Chain A
Amino acid sequence: MLEIKNLTASIDGKEILKGINLTVNPGEVHAIMGPNGSGKSTLAKVLAGHPSYEVTGGEVIYDGKNLLELSPDERAREGVFMAFQYPVEVPGVSNAQFLRLAYNEKQKHKGEEELDPLEFKDLLKEKAALVEMDASFMSRSVNEGFSGGEKKRNEILQMAVLDPKLAVLDETDSGLDIDALRIVAEGVNKLHDPDKAVIVVTHYQRLLNYIVPDFVHVLSGGRIVKEGGKELALELEEKGYDWLKNGNGKSGSAAAK
């Protein structure tokens, strides 16, 4: 589904990603972990097409297409979704308006039926239940005045409505209390199926107790320095990231310097 080959990217001329290789197949859950500044959020944003980041080399093939050639909105309509670490407030536009517009853009793209406000209301009600969101949030401006946890739940609600093939969760666990974490994680798990893939970007292991990864990749200094199964996350929780800096990472990546 997704193949990242030797991807390099920079922001304001500063190289952040220094050659990422990653393959994600349908049905898989991948965790990208790493210390602050390792480039894990950059990887998420580059996949979504954030305009501040410049891809300087490598390629990303998604569903047989060159993902890097698509604009952010085209990527979204093709089924790529990123849950933001810091969801943006959009004053004056209601959540329901915004979601229906996004939903219909995607339906149009797929040649499927668009929904009028009443029909969409039913769909929204069903999806909102997944993340235990109250109907009152739908008439409020997008993310405006939402608490940190409400914003993250709103991200997962958007994911539920847009039904992406590839979901990238960028530090969705940050700023969540334990109940919100559970709600968000359960929402993600309910949406997951064998045709879809999830990439969970996180600093901590705790989200991975709920969204259990098939693979864990550890990023450091813009490279993947260690890979393993879900047990790697537990090892990191115990030993911290410093342990990897002492030559315990993959030799292949370290040598690429």
Chain B
Amino acid sequence: MTTELAQQENKYAAAFDQVLAAQTGEPAWLRSARESAFAEFSASGFPTVDLEEWKYTNVAAIAKTSFEPVLSANGTSLGKQDALAPYSYPETSHSRLVFVNGIFRQDLSDTSDLSAGIVAVDLNEAASDKKYEAVLRRAVEREAQTNGFVSLNTALFSGGLFMQITRDHVVAAPIHLLFVAEAQNGTAPAALPRVVIHAEANSQATIIESYAGSGSGAYLTNAVIDFELADSARISHYRLQREGAKGFHVSTTRAELGAKASYETTSINFGAAISRHNVEVRMDHEGAECAVDGLYMVDESQHTDTHSVIDHRQPHCNSRQLYKGILDGKSRAVFNGKVFVRHGAQQTDAQQTNKNLLLSKEAQVDTKPQLEIYADDVKCTHGAAVGQLEEDELFYLESRGINPTLAKNMLTYGFAGEVIEKIKIESIRRELDEVVLNRLHSEFQLES
């Protein structure tokens, strides 16, 4: 082990001692979860490329950087008027929960549209409340997708959020969880956001989870977001990862679906030097359905990795997955999509597609759709494609007087649009369209 690594691990050990000292009121189950998580992290550290699941994504740069884990609210310049405007959407101006470096900030949040039918409290506080214990334990003790990052988050998280949508309640305003990383005074913060969202039976909500960096320095976001949907609950979830150019982003999304529950998630990955998203949806009750879609668009030397697991464990569940990638420069993308259909999960209907567009010869994609079926009465399809723009499509646009660069941009924009249009919030869609066009340096304008 190099000295850099040893020093960095000492830093995490010191942080762990701080957490134990600060959270003395925590229930025993949580303390023991933290202890075993930290023991696991100390033993194996961050994942390395020797592990099959991390073969194409080298996180040595994260392991070597001296990040400061953020354990409590620190000073922020984001409290100033309009400082959060660039990361905000008009549809959520009164339903916005702000996290700075992973710590929930009530002082920067506006939840006036979320008064009825919803509980949003500090995660540590909720952990001490008997009525939330069962659901929180299920989330924190969940083993799916566990790796060094998840262990570190479990050991250290502070200032997380627990949100519960009350039975039968339909939350009208989309709920925006805004995570801003702020690197101050030359330090490289490690933000460890942790959120548990519990949608009670027959409730409905739209959740936006967005990540941005406010400065130009290096930082790490290591987030774990858990969803539990009770019977017939419906959640639409938009995850927008637009971290800064020197940001590192690792996040884990896990969703457990009750009977006839519906979970639709669209992940947009535009930012960060290195990003990795693990998403796992478990359908362990009949009649659940999910759509797990995404778009990654990277350039220069960016690296983005999506590992997805859709687990059909009971009969009559549906899943849809469309992931698209646009790569330019020397960027690299990884897509690994597993769909499991377990014994007895009859009448499963699963479709998975991954399509990649390479805009440069130096960009590279590793895609691996994996379908494992252990039931015999199912309908499953999957496919992956990597390619350039179609000559016939380009010619069609050019034959209408559109110059080749613009034609290429239009087709690329259209390629991304198929995923972006899944987001049902106008201002987000528009912002993403603009990001795509800016990336393309396009003179092609949006319709106003």
Chain A residue at minimum C-beta to C-beta distance from B419 = A92
A94-B403 in contact (CB<8A): no
B391, B397, B415: which has the most chain A beta carbons within 10 Å?
Answer: B397
| Set of chain A residues within 8 Å of B395, measured between Cβ atoms | 49-51, 72
B447-A71 in contact (CB<8A): no
A96, B398: Cα distance in complex, Å? 16
Interface string of A47-76 (1 = CB under 8 A from B): 011111000000000000000000111011
A87, B407: Cα distance in complex, Å? 15
A72-B417 in contact (CB<8A): no
| Set of chain B residues within 8 Å of A76, measured between Cβ atoms | 398-402
Decide if A186 is an interface residue (CB 8 Å cutoff).
no
B401-A51 in contact (CB<8A): no
Decide if B406 is an interface residue (CB 8 Å cutoff).
yes
A92-B416 in contact (CB<8A): yes
A48, B407: Cα distance in complex, Å? 16
Interface residues of A in 58-108 (CB under 8 A from B): 71-73, 75-77, 81-82, 84, 87-88, 90-94, 96-98, 100-102, 105-106
| Set of chain A residues within 8 Å of B418, measured between Cβ atoms | 91-92
B401-A77 in contact (CB<8A): yes
* CB contact between A88 and one of B393, B406, B415 (< 8 Å): that residue: B393
Interface string of B383-415 (1 = CB under 8 A from A): 000000011110111111111101100110111
Separation in Å of the B409 CB from the closest CB of chain A? 10
Decide if A109 is an interface residue (CB 8 Å cutoff).
yes
| Set of chain B residues within 8 Å of A98, measured between Cβ atoms | 397, 400, 410
| Set of chain A residues within 8 Å of B362, measured between Cβ atoms | none
| Set of chain A residues within 8 Å of B402, measured between Cβ atoms | 73, 76, 101-102, 105
A84-B410 in contact (CB<8A): no
Decide if A228 is an interface residue (CB 8 Å cutoff).
no
Chain B residue at minimum C-beta to C-beta distance from A94 = B447
A72-B398 in contact (CB<8A): yes
| Set of chain A residues within 8 Å of B391, measured between Cβ atoms | 51-52
* CB contact between B403 and one of A49, A73, A100 (< 8 Å): that residue: A73
A81, B402: Cα distance in complex, Å? 12
Q: Tell whether A90 pairs with B400 under 8 Å between CB atoms, given A101-B444, A117-B447.
A: no
| Set of chain B residues within 8 Å of A77, measured between Cβ atoms | 401
Q: Tell whether A90 pairs with B397 under 8 Å between CB atoms, given A73-B404, A101-B402, A101-B410.
A: yes
B397, B399, B416: which has the most chain A beta carbons within 10 Å?
Answer: B399
| Set of chain B residues within 8 Å of A162, measured between Cβ atoms | 400-401
A71-B401 in contact (CB<8A): no
Decide if A38 is an interface residue (CB 8 Å cutoff).
no
Decide if A25 is an interface residue (CB 8 Å cutoff).
no
B413-A92 in contact (CB<8A): yes
| Set of chain B residues within 8 Å of A75, measured between Cβ atoms | 399
Q: Tell whether A96 pairs with B447 under 8 Å between CB atoms, given A91-B414, A105-B402, A162-B401.
A: yes
| Set of chain B residues within 8 Å of A50, measured between Cβ atoms | 395
Separation in Å of the B239 CB from the closest CB of chain A? 20
A84, B400: Cα distance in complex, Å? 11
| Set of chain A residues within 8 Å of B415, measured between Cβ atoms | 91-92
Separation in Å of the B402 CB from the closest CB of chain A? 6
Decide if B24 is an interface residue (CB 8 Å cutoff).
no
Q: Tell whether A88 pairs with B398 under 8 Å between CB atoms, given A101-B406, A117-B448.
A: no
A1, B401: Cα distance in complex, Å? 19
| Set of chain A residues within 8 Å of B398, measured between Cβ atoms | 49, 71-73, 76
Decide if B366 is an interface residue (CB 8 Å cutoff).
no
A108, B216: Cα distance in complex, Å? 40
Chain A residue at minimum C-beta to C-beta distance from B404 = A73
Interface residues of B in 26-82 (CB under 8 A from A): none
| Set of chain A residues within 8 Å of B393, measured between Cβ atoms | 88, 90
| Set of chain A residues within 8 Å of B397, measured between Cβ atoms | 90, 98, 102
B400-A158 in contact (CB<8A): yes
Decide if B421 is an interface residue (CB 8 Å cutoff).
yes
| Set of chain A residues within 8 Å of B447, measured between Cβ atoms | 94, 96-97, 100, 117
A91-B444 in contact (CB<8A): no
Separation in Å of the B17 CB from the closest CB of chain A? 52
Interface string of A92-131 (1 = CB under 8 A from B): 1110111011100110010000001100000000000000
Chain B residue at minimum C-beta to C-beta distance from A52 = B391
| Set of chain B residues within 8 Å of A71, measured between Cβ atoms | 398, 404
Decide if A141 is an interface residue (CB 8 Å cutoff).
yes
| Set of chain A residues within 8 Å of B392, measured between Cβ atoms | 88
6 A-B residue pairs with Cβ-Cβ distance under 8 Å, sorted by A, are: A81-B399, A84-B396, A90-B410, A91-B414, A91-B417, A91-B418
Give the interface of B toward A (CB within 8 A).
390-393, 395-404, 406-407, 410-411, 413-418, 421, 444, 447-448
Give the interface of A toward B (CB within 8 A).
48-52, 71-73, 75-77, 81-82, 84, 87-88, 90-94, 96-98, 100-102, 105-106, 109, 116-117, 141, 158, 162
- 10 tightest A-B CB contacts, nearest first: A92-B417, A92-B414, A76-B401, A88-B396, A102-B400, A72-B398, A93-B414, A73-B398, A77-B401, A105-B401
- Apart from A76-B399, A102-B402, list 11 A-B contacts with CB within 8 A: A76-B402, A82-B399, A90-B396, A92-B414, A93-B413, A94-B447, A96-B447, A98-B400, A117-B447, A158-B400, A162-B401
